[in-house]
Amino acid sequence: MRSIAPLLAVALLAGCASIDAQRSLAQAEVSLEGARAAGAEKLAPYEYTSAEALYQKAREENGRARYNDAVDHARRAARMADQARTQATGPRPEEK
């Protein structure tokens, strides 16, 4: 019975990491959708494209069970998408 306890602990920790990765991916997806809705594809193309690339990398890392890397990439994707949305909804240079 003692040999099962360490295996159970490892399985529980892996499950938590997976949940964190899924939560971070979901947040990044919401942020990307907000940026897309704000027109960031055209109004903030660098930030939007970077956010999409980071999101895809996060999904890739998650698929490879590299949950910490997936969380890092997903959080960066969400931040970049939020920046893209902010830039897209801000004043345009011609409006100043």
Tens of pLDDT along 23-35? 999 999 999 999 9
Distance CA 32, CA 63 (A): 20
- The greatest distance separating any two alpha carbons of the chain, rounded to the nearest whole angstrom, comes to 72
Q: Where are the domains of the chain?
A: 4-89
Interval 2-52: pLDDT, tens: 567 665 555 545 557 788 999 999 999 999 999 999 999 999 999 999 999
The 8-class DSSP code of residue 12 comes to H
pTM for the structure as a whole = 0.79
Distance CA 32, CA 40 (A): 9
